[in-house]
Each structure stands twice: as structure tokens, then as C-alpha cells.
Chain A
Amino acid sequence: MLNKNPAWRYVLVISMLLLALVYALPNLYPEDPALNISATRGGTVAEQTRLQLEQGFRAANIVAKSVVLEEGQILARFNSTEDQLQAREIANQQLGANFITALNLAPATPGWLTAIGATPMNLGLDLRGGVHFLLAVDMKAALDKNLNDMVQTFRADLREDKIRYRNVQADIGRGQVQITFRSAEDLAAAEAALKQRDRELVFTTGSDNQTLLVSLSENRLKEIREYALEQNITIIRNRVNEIGVAEPLVQRQGADRIVVQLPGVQDTAQAKEILGATASLEFRLVDTDGDLAAALEGRVPPNSELYYSRDGRPVLLEKRIMLTGDHITGASSGYDEYSRPQVNIKLDAKGGSLLSASTKDTIGRRMASVFIEYKPGTEIGADGNPVLIKQQEVINDATIQARLGRDFVITGINSPAEAQNLATLLRAGALIAPIQIIEERTIGPSLGKENIELGITAIQWGMVVVLLFMAVYYKAFGMVANIALVANLVLLVGVMSLIPGATLTLPGMAGIVLTVGMAVDANVLIFERIREELLEGRSVQQAIHHGYDRAFATIADSNITTLLVALVLFGIGTGPVKGFAVTLAIGILTSIFTAVVGTRLLVNLIWGGRRVQSLPI
């Protein structure tokens, strides 16, 4: 018999390898030091901005490799980090506070590769440098605040329904509200009334028949937790975008955790200030009597203050604050009956009565929402950290149509997107659950670079050692295995580059080294099997055929269990370890392919088609 393979099988394997090679290529190109310029909220980056920057760079004798406007951002590439840093200063001077400049490393992938979606592998923070934060949302604070809100609401509701009660108080430890009555009748009436207002409440009556214990349903508690988490994620995402980080990651982890990764950021103190900065919200009346023109010249009326809206329009607002954002319990965007976008706002009981009182006599006037945020500025304070700057902007003003209460809507919003944005900001101003940093990992840029170099050296030497060993031990068959090993590395890198979620980390690089050592196992199994078959007196072609067939079951069994372990690792691991699990799993799959399918084709091509008496194995 002869061992031959149909031509299509060669075509298939070769085209797969070529494809992997093409997708692995971008990793060979170096990265350019670059600047990312984007606009802050409300602003836009235009072609004019780009030209202005180019001129600025030219005037300062900085050679930019390219300055392009893409997807509303400008990307400027430079030859050196010095140029990049200098260019950042110039960009900051020229563009001012409405733009964010971020230092970045832009892959210098040629256009034809980018066009087919070939990009380099994602590098983990341990390789590129940067900060990793794990934040915990203080859920207890969110639930406690909710409990206190419930107390206020119950008091107001019972008063409104004219049900007499002795006392309403929160029992924080048990997570319930206690209402005491003078009689069992009052209690029954209260239970009925409160139940009608909110179906998510759970009632239990105390043994004395005069105490009503109210808690929230599991469903509602879950909702509150989810809301607190989502709210924090939205706020952090907004803030991170403003720090000027090229590719930030803000991701939920589990029930109450948030992962924030800021590649390239070194100044953790600043990053922490920004993450921890507080935002708040105020509602104020618009001062329509005051002279805006005079105020702009510096003569602001004594009872008013000058504010600016997001698009830079000046607004005079009364000094008196009608309501602060901490009374907001929810804000969501939606549509009115004519499907025009609107924002629905819910207040707590106290906020409702405050707003109701202050809008009693002001129907027809305009009410503005002011968003206040503290951000680190360029100035450095005595403690070495940037001084926080109070930033205030009017995010909306609308006419008060009626006396407002606990639920009200803001209409007259231009687009659904704007309504959504406004709702987000309103919620951000009423942060109900504080966050706490429970894990922080910062890798300096020099260590990141060193780690890459160490990893590459280890992979190179690991390869050399194994290639030499196989060539010496198995001779020509060893060379076949070596070709498979190199193909395996190409395939592994190609697949890693192709999968968007796969990230290369330092343990991941160790995983590649390990894969190199273990990938030859399949070939060792096959070759040993072929030797045995030859010893047992089979013909050369039969030995090859049986060697591959018999070894395959073993290879499959042993690798499936290893794959199982890689999955478990992926499940528990975070960051770098997850990267290890990913490389291990992909390495197992690619090595089976190259070592079993690939080498068989090659072996059959060389020895399978002719009558040979012995094998160089």
C-alpha cells in the first residue's frame, strides 16, 4: 500500500497556514508613539482642528509621521517619544480645555492588513504598562439609603392617607422599616394603603399587632443593586473618557465589582482622584429679569450667578438652590404620547415636598439643571496631587409647566440620544453607592517593555532547544515535527491576533513556551508508534498508517483533559492568568492540528508515495 493524500487536503492546510501567517503579520510591525485627540462632551473634532495641529507641529519643528482624522478623533504619529511628548504640549496649548489629548502607542500596521481586519495581539497591562483597578460598589450604602428614603416616603404617604401612626423608623441591621401604631385597625389600614402604592413591599406584623415591619422584595433589592452598579459603571466610563486614555476598559465583574484598566497611565494618584471624584446636581431658577449682557461684562446681579451651558451659551441663574441631586432616586429616558423624547425623574419624599413647595409660585418660569463635577486640573497642589477644579455646567433648562412633585418629566429635548445622555448625567449627580478601590496593579512602562523582551527571549530559546533536540533525536522525521512546531507558533499567534478577546500577558508568554515544549508530545507519540510498528515487522507504509491512527486516540484523550483544565483556569483566573489559560487552550488546539494533520501530510508527501525500505526516524 501507499500513503497518499488528495490534493485538496494540501490546499486546505496550506491555505489555513497562509491565512494564519497573514493575520500574525501585524505583530511584526513596531508601534509608533502617537497622540490621540478627541473632543470633550459637546465638542467635535473637525478637519480644521487637524490642519491647525499640523501647522503647530511644523512651527515647532516636530516631524509628524501622519496626522489623520478618523471616527471623530485625530491620530498623530511620531518617530520618537520625545516628539510625542513635545507634540502633546503643543496640542494642549493650541486646543485648550475642550479637547483631550492622550498618549498612545499606535500599531504601524500597513493599510492592506488593516483593511482585512488584521491587527496585532492585544497586550495585557503587564506587557504594555498601565493601571488596573478593581473597584467594589458599596451595596450596603445603597440599600441603607433606600431604607431611609422608604421611611420618608411612608411618613408622607400615611399622612396623606390620614392614617395615624406612632413612629416610623429604619432598622438598618435587619434591612427593614418599622412602623408602630396605636391600634391594630390603623395597622391594617396602613398595610392596605402602602400595599396599593407599592406592590414590591413585603409586610410582616409584629407579635403585639401594633408593629408593622416592611421590607423590600428580593426582586426590588436586586434591582437596587443592579442600578447602583450600572450607575457607577456609567459614571466611571464617562470620567475615564475624560482622563484621555487611549483604550480604556471599564467592565462589570460579578455582582458588585468593576474592573477599570487604563493602559499607559502612570500617575495613579491622578487616576484615583478622577475615579473617586464626586459629581452633584442642582436645580435652580433661571434669572430672566437680570441683564445677561451686563453680567457678561462682570456686573452680575447680587442674587444671581453666571453659568454656561454645554454649548457655551451663558445663562443667569438664581443663587437659591431649589433642590439638590441627592434627592433623585431615578432618572430614565423615554417618550411622551407624541413619541417625543423626554426624561422621567423620580425624587424621594423629602425632595418631592421641597420641589412641590418651590414650584408652587414659579409656574411658567424656567428651571435649569446644573451639573457639578470636580476634576483634577493642570495645577499641582501642596500634597503633590493635582488641584481639583470645580466644573459647573447647565445641562438643561426647561419651563415649569405645573407644580412639580415626586415624579416629573423634562420635555422639549431634541433627540432620544440627548434624553439618554441627560438621564445619565442626572443619575450621575445622585450617586447612591460609593465605590472603593480593593485592588490596584500598576506596571511601569520600563517593566512592561522588559517583560516583553524576556518573554520573546524565552520563546526563542525554548524553540531553539526543542528544535535541536527533535532534529538530533528523530532525524528527518524530527525536521518534519520541527516544521509543524514553527507552523504551530504561527497559527497560535495568528489565532490570538484574530480573536478580539484574547490578550497576551507575561504568564501567557510562559504558556507559549510551555506549549512549545508540550506540542512535540503528539509527534513523539506518533513517531514512537511508527518505530514500534516497524520493530514488529510491518512494512514502512503500514507503519506510517498505523502509527498515526493508533496514536490519535491517545492524543485526543490526553489533550481533551488538558483543555478541561485550561477552561477551569479561564473560569477562575483574572487578568494575566486568564491570558495564560487562553494561550494554553489555543496552543493545545493548534498543536493537535499541526502535529497530527500537518505532519501526516508532510510525511505522506515525502515517504508515502514511493516504495521505501526504511525510514529516517
Chain B
Amino acid sequence: MQVFNFAKPLNFMRLKWAAVVLSTLLVLGSFTSIAINGINWGLDFTGGTVIEVGFAKPADLVAVRQTLTNAGYDDAVVQLFGTSRDVLIRIPLRPDIAQAEVGDTVLQALNSQQADAVTMRRVEFVGPSVGEELKQDGGLAMLMALLGILAYVAMRFEWRLSVGAVAALAHDVILTLGLFSVLQLEFDLTVLAAILALIGYSINDTIVVFDRIRESFRKLRETTVAETINDAITSTLNRTVITSLTTVLVLVVLFYMGGALIHGFATALLFGIAVGTYSSVYVASAIAEILGISREDMLPPPPVDKEGEGIDAL
């Protein structure tokens, strides 16, 4: 069984300008949304207190809100979390209260004023300095990951491909951030982890295509650059689609079965992998072509085959 079986390479590069325009529009759109709507930063980044409590019966949110208002937390956000018996209470940072004690006092208030006792499922408090640091560290981590990849690909392949790869990665990250901004999904630490994992996944995809571009350049001597790239993308298309498919399958499982805490993580990766698959075909290769990659750039034989021998000797 095979998904695609093409007699001739598909002409992917014919659509390169359309892809460039589409991607540019999407990136600009993401930036616009981030500028206007901002990102719905989660507790990890904003600081504050989140309390998750469990009720024996479906929870009465109005009563919970009333209790919290009576206890002096009229700025609390109360919502159901996952099931009708789970309630999530968010209390923003305020200078006038001892933050570290908010969790305890809220639980006490709920337990003394509600008819049924609640069970504490989770209390998280993050101080203002911690969140600010995390934003900086997170941004720094993304930059470091991108720079590391830029250096590695430039060393193993060629600078034009390296620029293409990193542009594709930045494209994926920006679009995923854009999605979170447009839908106002909560951006917490697990989403940051997902985006970094996405960088890892997406570069994986891109390198498989690049590897084949390098190989095709050496194999096909009488073709144009665009034809060579088309040939490489076509021959790796089956692999690209199948790997994306198995990954998407497990992510769908994770999305539906992993619980509410993993939702953001699964969403970011699901979207990111869809975008990443497109970008490793179009953005990365198209940019390398537009930058003017040529057969000569690829000819000095890099030590590719050596590694093949290495595994053979094992």
C-alpha cells in the first residue's frame, strides 16, 4: 500500500511565489493579532493564583462566585474545568494581599460557606518576578534553539538551506503563536514546551527534505535547480505524509484522552505539525531556491556516506 506513487516529480516550485505570498500574509496576520489581541498568558507567566477544586455534585458557579466576593476576592474568575464537578478559580496578583496565602484562605472560605465540602485538587501560586523571568527565559530558549539549528544546518549543509530551515521554523512558531492569540487560548508553560518540541519536529521534517535535495543534486546532473528540488520533495512526500499522520494520530489521542492540563500542549503541536509539514515543503525549500542555491554549492562531497558505513560496521 502506498499513498502517493508518482511517475514524474510534481512541480512544487511552480507554486513557490504563491506559497511565499500566503506565508507572508499569515505571518503578518499573526503579528497583527499578537499586537492587537495580545497573547493570553497563563498563570506561569502572569503570576497570580489558580485554585482547582472538586465538588461531589455538579458545581454551582454562581454560589462559588458569591462566596469568593464575600471573602474579598471580587476579581476572581470562576469557570468549570474539564467536568461539571471541577471548578477553576483564578485570582490575579494584587499588591494589597499576601499572595502566598490566597490559596489557603480561598479554600477555607469555600469549605465554610458552601453546603458541600470541596476537595483541593490543585493550588498554584506564581509570584510576579517568576513569571517575568519565565517570559524572558522562554524567549531566550526559542532563540537559542533556532540559532543552534541555524549553526548545525549551515555546518552540515549550506547557508542558504540553513536560512530556509530557520525561516520555516520561525514561520511555524509565529503562526502557532498567532493561533493562540486569535483564539485567545491560554499560553502556559506546557505550550512553550510544545512550541519547542514543534521546532524539533519541524526541523526533522525539513532536514529529511534537504538531505534529499543534496542527494538529488548529485544524482541528477541535467536538470534545473527547481526540477531537482521538485524531485527531492516528491520522493520524500510519502514519508512526510506518513510521519505527519502517525504524529497527528497520537496527538489526537492526547487531545481527547490526555485531560484538560494537556489540552494546550496538544493543540499547539497539532496545529504546529500541520503548518510545519507545509513549511518544510514550501517555505524552507522555496527560500533556498529564491536565495539562489545551485548544484555547485552542493557538490563538494560532505561526509554523508561515511555515516552510512559507520552503522554498517556496528
Contact = CB atoms under 8 A, between A and B. Distances in A.
Partners in one complex: yes
**Most interface-central of B127, B153, B254 (chain A CB within 10 A):** B254
A266 B120 contact: yes
A445 to B, nearest CB: 9
Contacts of A510: 190, 254, 258, 262, 265-266
A520 B204 CA distance: 13
A189 B196 CA distance: 62
Contacts of A559: 204
Contact of B141 (A458, A550, A554, A571): A571
Nearest to B190: A507
B131 to A, nearest CB: 9
Contacts of B311: 548-549, 552, 596-597
A581 B101 CA distance: 32
A178 interface: no
A458 B104 CA distance: 33
A514 B254 CA distance: 9
B103 interface: yes
A255 interface: no
A565 B258 contact: no
Given A134-B130, A524-B242, A561 B259 contact: no
B192 A577 contact: yes
B156 A557 contact: yes
A506 B193 CA distance: 12
A416 interface: no
A446 B119 contact: yes
Contacts of A268: 103-104, 123
Nearest to B104: A269
Interface string B235-273: 110110011011111110110011101100110010000
B124 A532 contact: no
A367 interface: no
Nearest to A554: B211
B123 A442 contact: yes
A126 to B, nearest CB: 8
A253 to B, nearest CB: 11
A442 B259 contact: no
Where chain A touches its partner, the secondary structure class is helix
Nearest to A269: B104
Interface in B196-220: 196-197, 199-201, 203-205, 207-208, 211-212, 215
A272 B207 contact: no
Contacts of A389: none
Contact of A518 (B104, B122, B124, B247): B247
A440 B200 CA distance: 30
Interface in A505-524: 506-507, 510-511, 513-514, 516-518, 520-521, 524
Interface residues of A, number: 81
Contacts, number: 238
Interface stretch (B21-29, B65-73, B142-150): B142-150
**Most interface-central of A134, A455, A561, A566 (chain B CB within 10 A):** A561
A554 B207 contact: yes
Interface in A562-607: 562, 564-566, 568-569, 571-574, 576-577, 580-581, 584, 596-597
Given A518-B247, A568-B196, A562 B201 contact: yes
A338 B216 CA distance: 80
Contacts of B145: 564-565, 568
Interface residues of B, number: 80
A194 to B, nearest CB: 37
Given A440-B103, A559-B204, A562-B204, A506 B130 contact: no
Interface in A264-317: 266, 268-269, 272
Contacts of B1: 472-475
A561 B130 contact: no
B258 A455 contact: yes
Contacts of B247: 514, 517-518, 521
A557 B211 contact: yes
Interface in A453-484: 454-455, 457-458, 461-462, 465-466, 469-470, 472-475
Given A447-B122, A514-B197, A440 B239 contact: no
Contact of A572 (B101, B137, B207, B312): B137
A450 B309 CA distance: 48
B100 interface: yes
27 contacts: A268-B103, A272-B101, A272-B104, A384-B108, A436-B100, A440-B124, A444-B121, A451-B259, A469-B249, A472-B1, A473-B1, A474-B1, A510-B190, A513-B251, A513-B253, A518-B246, A518-B247, A520-B246, A524-B243, A553-B307, A558-B204, A558-B205, A561-B203, A561-B204, A561-B207, A569-B141, A576-B189
Give 7 closest A-B pairs by Cβ, nearest first: A517-B250, A438-B127, A565-B200, A562-B200, A549-B308, A462-B250, A517-B247
Given A469-B246, A558-B211, A565-B197, 15 more contacts: A268-B104, A439-B125, A439-B126, A439-B130, A442-B120, A442-B124, A446-B119, A454-B258, A454-B262, A458-B257, A517-B251, A552-B310, A568-B144, A576-B189, A577-B192
Interface of A: 9, 126, 134, 136, 266, 268-269, 272, 384, 436-444, 446-447, 450-451, 454-455, 457-458, 461-462, 465-466, 469-470, 472-475, 506-507, 510-511, 513-514, 516-518, 520-521, 524-525, 528, 531-532, 548-550, 552-554, 556-562, 564-566, 568-569, 571-574, 576-577, 580-581, 584, 596-597
Interface of B: 1-2, 52, 54, 100-101, 103-104, 108, 119-127, 129-130, 137-138, 140-141, 144-145, 148-149, 152-153, 156, 189-190, 192-193, 196-197, 199-201, 203-205, 207-208, 211-212, 215, 235-236, 238-239, 242-243, 245-251, 253-254, 257-259, 261-262, 265-266, 269, 304-305, 307-312, 314
